[in-house]
Chains A and B, each alone.
Chain A
Amino acid sequence: MAEIKIKKGINLNLKGAITDTAITNTSCKNFAITPDDFTGVVPRLDVKEGDKVDAGSTIYHDKSHPEVKVTSPIAGNVKAIVRGERRKIEAIIIEADGSDRARTFDVKSAARDTLLESGLWCAMRQRPYDIVPDPNVKPRDIFITAFDSAPLAPDFALLLKDKEKYLQKGIEVLATLTDGDVYLGCRPEWIPEVKGCIVNTFAGPHPAGNAGVQIANAKPVNKGETVWTLDAVTAARIGELFSTGKVPFDTIVAITGESVRNPHYTRCTMGCSIASLTGNEIGNPDNCRIVSGNLLTGSHVAADGYLRFPYRQLSAITEVRNPADFLGWASLSPKRFSIYHSFTRWLLGRGKPATPDAKINGGERAIIMSGEYDRMLPMDILGEYLIKAIIAFDIDKMEQLGIYEIAPEDFALCEFADTSKLPLQKIIREGLDKLYKEMN
């Protein structure tokens, strides 16, 4: 066990945190699978509209690795297949029929095959490229993150309450899939009692909970190596699958953010509709941004959209608070949210939760200020140089500067703090995709 202190980064204190840990129940009629959530899987549908599916039935498989499957979270009928430009599948909508038909998986066969068949495989990611793991590559190590340090993120101790036995089982199953070690990255305050893995504790601000940061500070990824990453909730689901034969598709979601009247936890099923989760909890529905996930890495979803992977948080904030913001750059108001001392927010101290809106607050510029990314990136990576290499798509430089170690989420905080307002996560995602095509 190693105790690691993360110094770089910052915890954003935002309004809309959950104070009451009671868990409500949410029921819902329509559910959706969003293929964009499973980066690296090119969907080939196994169902058509009107088909009857069980919880755990295959909905689609990957084009190049047919054994990689995405499964239905609920029993019902395929209601619609939503397609976008160039017939890209945007969502597969399943209408629940109220029955509890669920597929039972053979847990006696090889763990790899069961994981692939159950769809839980797609809840893991691999480095390099931050994509669903290639089933033909054995990982060097497997990294499990047991806390989420993102703004307003749910408490893993609560998500995993009474599930430690499944987490233990999950770790045992995962250990059979690698010749290396299974690592569990925890907060010093909450260390699950599990065996058979290397437990590291991470103190310090966000992004300490990111898999990339934990890997970089424990055993960094080198060129040619592959590691898997997943969160402890997924590991517990894997354990439950191998204990009961069924995939637990239920999930606890934190409904957070300044626009939510009563931030709370709710229990629901993966991919449920946003409307069912928010109900009439949103105070300003006409001027509200709903994000599935946290405000740094989550996906912007419509009010009639669906919960997206990793199915554990929903954030809602005001879209534009002040449409005529006169001389905003000159503002002396401490209400204006900034982590820099050039605004007066610091006068209020760290204790006062902020209520930022979704505005970018400025125009896109060349990278002018130096060192801004470094302060937010607790990895031995020169962020600015890597970003420039990706923009120029200089493969040699990207490799040399550590492209294989990062995921877009690692740069989310940099993107938040960037005075040049560059879309860093998008730059990295596109760079990784392009690199993957180039190398495979």
Chain B
Amino acid sequence: MKGLRNYLNRIKPNFMPGGKYSKLQSVFEGFESFLFTPNTTSASGVSIHDSNDTKRTMTVVIVSLIPCLLFGIYNIGYQHYLAIGNASAGFWEMFLYGFVALLPTIVVSYAVGLGIEFIGAQIRHHEIQEGFLVTGLLIPLICPINTPLWMIAVATAFAVIFAKEIFGGTGMNIFNVALITRAFLFFAYPAKMSGDAAFVATEPILGLGQGKVVDAFSGATPLGQIATATTADPQITNIVGDPVSTLDAFIGLIPGSVGETSTLCILIGALVLLFTGTASWKIMLSVFAGGLFMGFIAHTFPSATYPASSLSPIDQICLGGFAFAAVFMATDPVTGARTETGKYIYGFLIGVLAILIRVYNSGYPEGAMLAVLLMNAFAPLIDYFVVQSNIKRRLKRAKTNN
């Protein structure tokens, strides 16, 4: 690695102010600090620093997303081959199909987002920050597989510029950038984002997965089916009409946004996040508690007007994007509540609202995204009250002493 280090040292002057490529200074420094931990030592203050930095933190989140990513890729292929009536296709065949189907989305998401971050950093002469490394992977995982690439590009650009850069970049945003991307797509192109055609890739890609969709095919997600159900206790089926059990939903071989279907893989990711202390267990736990609580209330008073109320609380958290939102979206420290007490309130309300929207608003078969975004807006208010209670405690102490 000495050679690479020396090479970087040699070309570095070109990228410094006055050099040939000084317009690329931030990009160069971004890559340099990516390749080699900077040798900066502290001039004042503590002489030792923990090795943990934002690069590592973001890396841990990406690692925690890998189970969902891999399962999502397989599930794209599985749903496809199921749709063309070839459910006996091999594992690698399905995986390869899913990989080829998802890769362009990942590439577009990263290219657009990082491109904007690089330009933003250079304009402000900042270091390139790591926030988008996670966002760039979250976006493909929370979008339906059939989202056109140009939509991903437009939505990512919108979210990065208007939800993040104008607030000051990584760590300054109010709303979760990946969810803004999703919400932008959802409201700008609703026809492409919901319904039967969005969640299952039915076309062959690069010659892979040739075949004709079977007659019984319906690409509706379980929550989509329930939202449009007319009976009080609708039966959820998979895309070829077979019933879906809670276990199927937990394992995740059901149609849905790429990374959100497998509650099992999400829980593996949650373990990584919790063990490393990267995400707050307080938020995660209280989102699930809120979801189960509201799911229980809805289930206790089922109503034919609101068919989703027939789902058991366990089904509620296994279906749709609830678990993914609880583990990966609600726990975003930048947009969530930052006080320890606030985290319980914030998480619980996300859980309650997600199920509330899901069950009692027939316009939105899934409420997790909106619940997190809504609570993003309220997180500062929750924190405000927690901070005020600290302040009041201090004032009271001063009064009793004097």
Q: Which residues of A contact B (CB under 8 A)?
A: 12, 14, 151, 220, 222-225, 289, 291, 295-298, 300, 315, 317, 319-320, 323-331, 336-343, 356-363, 365-371, 374, 380-382, 384-385, 400-402, 412, 415-421, 423-426
Contacts and interface: CB of A to CB of B under 8 A. Distances in A.
Interface stretch (B48-56, B76-84, B204-212, B295-303): B48-56
A340 B276 contact: yes
Contact of B1 (A326, A337, A416): A326
Interface in B330-348: 333-334, 336-340, 343
A359 B393 contact: no
Contacts of A370: 280, 333, 336-339, 343
A341 to B, nearest CB: 5
B88 interface: no
A401 B44 contact: no
Interface stretch (B30-38, B215-223, B314-322): B30-38
Given A222-B402, A359-B40, A382-B339, A368 B51 contact: no
B390 interface: yes
A212 B277 CA distance: 27
Nearest to A12: B48
A384 B278 CA distance: 17
Nearest to B40: A360
A385 B387 contact: yes
A362 B33 CA distance: 8
B277 A365 contact: no
Contact of B46 (A14, A224, A425): A425
For this complex, into which size category does the number of interface residues on chain B fall? 35 or more
A424 to B, nearest CB: 7
A402 B386 CA distance: 15
Contacts, number: 212
Given A369-B333, A400-B394, A222 B401 contact: yes
A324 B47 contact: no
Interface of B: 1-2, 4-5, 33-57, 59-60, 127, 129, 131, 168-172, 275-278, 280, 333-334, 336-340, 343, 386-387, 390-391, 393-395, 397-398, 401-402
A324 B38 contact: no
A342 B276 contact: yes
Nearest to A367: B171
A324 B2 contact: yes
Residue from B34, B56, B277 whose CB has the most chain A CB atoms within 10 Å: B56
A329 B336 contact: no
B46 A296 contact: yes
Contact of A343 (B39, B56, B131): B56
A300 B47 contact: yes
DSSP class of A's interface residues: helix, strand, loop or mixed? loop
Contact of A342 (B36, B170, B278, B334): B278
Ranked 10 nearest A-B pairs via Cβ: A362-B53, A366-B171, A328-B37, A222-B398, A329-B55, A324-B5, A370-B338, A358-B41, A342-B276, A325-B37
Contacts of A420: 54, 171
B389 to A, nearest CB: 10
B133 to A, nearest CB: 11
Nearest to B61: A342
Contacts of B56: 329, 342-343, 362, 419
Nearest to B56: A329
Contacts of B402: 222, 224
24 contacts: A14-B48, A222-B401, A296-B47, A300-B47, A323-B5, A328-B51, A329-B34, A329-B55, A329-B56, A338-B50, A340-B50, A342-B278, A357-B41, A358-B42, A361-B49, A362-B53, A365-B53, A365-B170, A368-B131, A368-B170, A368-B334, A370-B280, A371-B333, A400-B395
B46 A317 contact: no
B43 A359 contact: no
B47 to A, nearest CB: 5
B172 A412 contact: no
Contacts of B43: 300
Contacts of B45: 412, 415, 423-426
B50 A341 contact: no
A364 B68 CA distance: 31
B48 A358 contact: yes
B55 A415 contact: no
Contact of A339 (B50, B59, B334): B50
